[in-house]
Copies of this chain bind each other. A is one copy, B any other.
Amino acid sequence: MEENLLKSMDLKNTKKRQVILSILKEYNYAMTAEEIYEKTKPLLSMSVSTIYRALHTLSDKNIVIKSIRQDGKSYYQLQKYTHKHHLVCTVCQEVITIEHCPLEELEQKLAVQTGYQITGHSLEFFGICPNCTKK
């Protein structure tokens, strides 16, 4: 479980980090520090700064990936579940996950053209979901 993951990165195996990781695993979508905080509340007490610090450490170790969305907030998710992109409804904020990343080939092409060593990308689509279109 989470214990080995932490140990393997020379991180101390604390209850709080375990809880954060298990929440990210359970819900399996990118969430904000605030959302994680809300979900930890019933389980144990933890300050928001601890969550930020843990997420920062975990993303340094590439266990967690941070990405900043168009709402200006940082979203965190487990590395192994990443590389999916999202389509976000700008009215109700519903999020649809796009399974296949369409950019891998393009990335290769770009690398050749520019001489850059490409390390990643961020991609997000916006729109209005069928439900909100009706209203």
Contact = CB atoms under 8 A, between A and B. Distances in A.
Given A121-B123, A126-B121, A87 B116 contact: yes
A112 to B, nearest CB: 12
Interface residues of A, number: 36
A98 B69 CA distance: 20
Contact of A114 (B68, B87, B120, B126): B87
A110 B69 CA distance: 19
Contacts of A121: 123-126
A23 interface: no
A105 to B, nearest CB: 9
Nearest to A116: B127
Interface of A: 67-72, 74, 87, 89-90, 96, 98, 102-103, 106-107, 110-111, 114-130, 133
